[in-house]
A = this chain, B = another copy of it.
Amino acid sequence: ARRGAGAHPQRGMTDNGMMSRAKVLTIDNMNPTVKKVEYAVRGPIVQRAVELERELSEGMKKPFAEVIKANIGDAHAMGQQPITFFRQVLALCSYPELLSDSTFPEDAKSRACRILQSCGGFSMGSYSASQGIDSVRQDVAQYIQRRDGGVPCDPDNIYLTTGASDGIVTMLKLLVCGEGTSRAGVMISIPQYPLYSAALAELGAVQINYYLNEEACWSLDIPELQRAVNEARRYCNPRALCIINPGNPTGQVQSRQCIEDVIRFAAKERLFLMADEVYQDNVYADGCQFHSFKKVLFEMGPEYSETVELASFHSTSKCYMGECGFRGGYMEIINMDDDVKAQLTKLVSVRLCPPVPGQALMDLVVNPPQPGDVSLFVISSSGARFQERTATLSALAEKAKLTEQVLNTVEGISCNPVQGAMYSFPRITIPEKAVQEAAEKGQAPDMFYCMKMLEETGICLVPGSGFGQKDGTYHFRMTILPPKDKLQILLNNVKEFHQRFTLQYS
């Protein structure tokens, strides 16, 4: 009896004869832009995965013993251990009584003190400045300067954020304007990380798709950018170009040349550049290297470095630390108009400040222990000395290779090299019969495929349709994060499922 049909237009009879009031807020009169939002990474397939987990825990029989959530880049949930030093400092900051505990290393203590001294009342419970803690922004600026071979970085251009998502949405907010053919358009890659399409839908901006070239290892081709912007100018006002490098979900790492070409294109077409660089440490393939947009921009000389407007985003959630739950991040803005920057500063002040523990963690990420510091090396449980960061990144590189290799042994699956980031995004052949059955169910064919895989194997992936793909092609995104032995089993199960599926629908 949600919408009754009584004499009074807003009242109706329920089944038990009571008068019911129609809802004030209904699906028909709610914000229409919110309804358009889609976010596949946590969509229906994940909801079903959570249900399956509950059913398993209640003792229900399934053809698998556990659900493996390979849908999301959630490293710790997959068993990756946090960096010891980071967590020691966070514990010290949370409960400063521990500063007198002799079991904590001195460098962790002095770092905790430095962070707490930047907090009001020596407490992470105080609000920070809305732009973020001063000393953290200084450390971020120094990190960027080191990373970019000395290209200067002004802490005043750093805004700490609640994960990278928060920064991206905030920047998009500034850019949105206009109606009809002057409505702001934003160029995003297809496949894309669906935060972008979701934010654009919510903000009522136009999504302008440019397609990555799957045949050339998901490379970004300038002619395709040109095609997309030319077509878009007929119906909207293209204002920004978003790049994800290393790529999510596609794992490609852009060459220096490609970045330079993109910057020239943005300058020529007068587009605000947004560089999502949250996977900047996650580069595995031989011959690949991370180049920041900022560095390339500055190497191109003042014609570009003094004019092209750029925002770059980073996060505590990915790379070797994988601290997603803390929601730490930053953005750096370059060449932004001063008046617009003042508006940005005002806008972020409404939410008071990003979470302070996430800010502290961001500080540790950009300024980790250096050679000579006590905490650079830690003792592993097996007693061997190793660097946690290097160990994590080498393991990821191995798993990237393994994923590509195993998937490419399967007839009907073809996987580009996972050059970087945390995902494989293989192309899958789905037989015509399966496409038809999916259509009958009103599902995208790769959603149908992934849902079936989940029910039969417990493996939770995200269908390619959630990221966008060329019509008639199908993919899934799978993280490379499970521990190696588990990943091996997982890949074999994917292989067997695909073979079974293909047989069933051929």
Task: State which of B26, B82, B162 has its C-beta within 8 Å of the C-beta of A339.
Answer: B26
Q: Which of A212-220, A224-232, A322-330, A468-476 forms part of the interface with chain B?
A: A322-330
Task: State which of B30, B87, B321 has its C-beta within 8 Å of the C-beta of A177.
Answer: B30
Quick one: which of A53-84 are within 8 Å of B by CB?
A: 72, 74-80, 82
Q: Does A147 contact B (CB under 8 A)?
A: no
B337:A177 contact, CB within 8 angstroms: no
List, in ascending order, chain B residues with CB within 8 A of A307's CB: 20-21
A88:B95 contact, CB within 8 angstroms: yes
List, in ascending order, chain B residues with CB within 8 A of A309's CB: 23-25
B91:A25 contact, CB within 8 angstroms: no
Q: Does A362 contact B (CB under 8 A)?
A: no
A462 to chain B, nearest CB (A): 13
Complex Cα distance, B198 from A101, in Å, reads: 45
Q: Does A272 contact B (CB under 8 A)?
A: yes
B74:A126 contact, CB within 8 angstroms: yes
Complex Cα distance, B358 from A272, in Å, reads: 34
A31:B175 contact, CB within 8 angstroms: yes
Quick one: which of A167-204 are within 8 Å of B by CB?
A: 173-177, 194-195, 198-199, 202
- Interface centre among A37, A163, A351, A354, by most chain B C-beta atoms within 10 angstroms, is A351
B27:A343 contact, CB within 8 angstroms: yes
Q: Does A336 contact B (CB under 8 A)?
A: yes
Q: Does A165 contact B (CB under 8 A)?
A: yes
What 0/1 readout, one digit per residue, does chain A (267-304) give for beta carbons within 8 Å of chain B?
10011100000000000000000000000000000110
Task: State which of B23, B30, B92, B321 has its C-beta within 8 Å of the C-beta of A343.
Answer: B30
Tell me the nearest residue of chain B to A269, going by C-beta: B24
Q: Does A388 contact B (CB under 8 A)?
A: no
What 0/1 readout, one digit per residue, does chain A (341-383) give for beta carbons within 8 Å of chain B?
0010011011111111110000000000000000000000000
Q: Does A98 contact B (CB under 8 A)?
A: yes
List, in ascending order, chain B residues with CB within 8 A of A120's CB: 74, 76-78
A119:B23 contact, CB within 8 angstroms: no
Q: Does A90 contact B (CB under 8 A)?
A: yes
Complex Cα distance, B30 from A239, in Å, reads: 10
Q: Does A138 contact B (CB under 8 A)?
A: no
List, in ascending order, chain B residues with CB within 8 A of A130's CB: 42
Quick one: which of A240-269 are within 8 Å of B by CB?
A: 240, 267
A91:B98 contact, CB within 8 angstroms: yes
B121:A78 contact, CB within 8 angstroms: yes
Complex Cα distance, B30 from A357, in Å, reads: 32
A32:B121 contact, CB within 8 angstroms: no
Complex Cα distance, B120 from A276, in Å, reads: 26
Q: Does A18 contact B (CB under 8 A)?
A: yes
A319 to chain B, nearest CB (A): 12
B352:A324 contact, CB within 8 angstroms: yes
A240 to chain B, nearest CB (A): 8
Complex Cα distance, B87 from A125, in Å, reads: 10
Q: Does A440 contact B (CB under 8 A)?
A: no
List, in ascending order, chain B residues with CB within 8 A of A198's CB: 350
Complex Cα distance, B202 from A324, in Å, reads: 28
B123:A337 contact, CB within 8 angstroms: no
List, in ascending order, chain B residues with CB within 8 A of A78's CB: 120-121
Q: Does A436 contact B (CB under 8 A)?
A: no
Q: Does A433 contact B (CB under 8 A)?
A: no
A144 to chain B, nearest CB (A): 21
Task: State which of B26, B74, B303 has its C-beta within 8 Å of the C-beta of A340.
Answer: B26
Complex Cα distance, B323 from A427, in Å, reads: 48
Q: Does A406 contact B (CB under 8 A)?
A: no
Q: Does A338 contact B (CB under 8 A)?
A: yes
B95:A91 contact, CB within 8 angstroms: yes
Complex Cα distance, B329 from A243, in Å, reads: 33
What 0/1 readout, one digit per residue, does chain A (89-103) give for beta carbons within 8 Å of chain B?
011101100100101
Quick one: which of A1-49 are within 8 Å of B by CB?
A: 2, 10, 18-21, 23-27, 29-32, 34-35, 37-39, 41-43
Q: Does A145 contact B (CB under 8 A)?
A: no
Complex Cα distance, B163 from A128, in Å, reads: 14
Chain A to chain B contacts (Cβ below 8 Å), 17 pairs:
A25-B340, A27-B340, A30-B175, A31-B174, A31-B176, A31-B177, A34-B173, A43-B349, A74-B126, A77-B121, A123-B325, A125-B321, A126-B324, A127-B325, A327-B353, A355-B358, A357-B357
Known: A31-B177, A324-B352. 11 other contacts (CB 8 A): A20-B307, A21-B267, A24-B271, A74-B127, A77-B127, A78-B121, A125-B322, A125-B326, A127-B325, A162-B355, A355-B357
The 10 A-B pairs of least Cβ separation, nearest first, read A77-B120, A325-B356, A91-B95, A76-B123, A27-B339, A42-B349, A21-B307, A90-B94, A355-B355, A77-B126
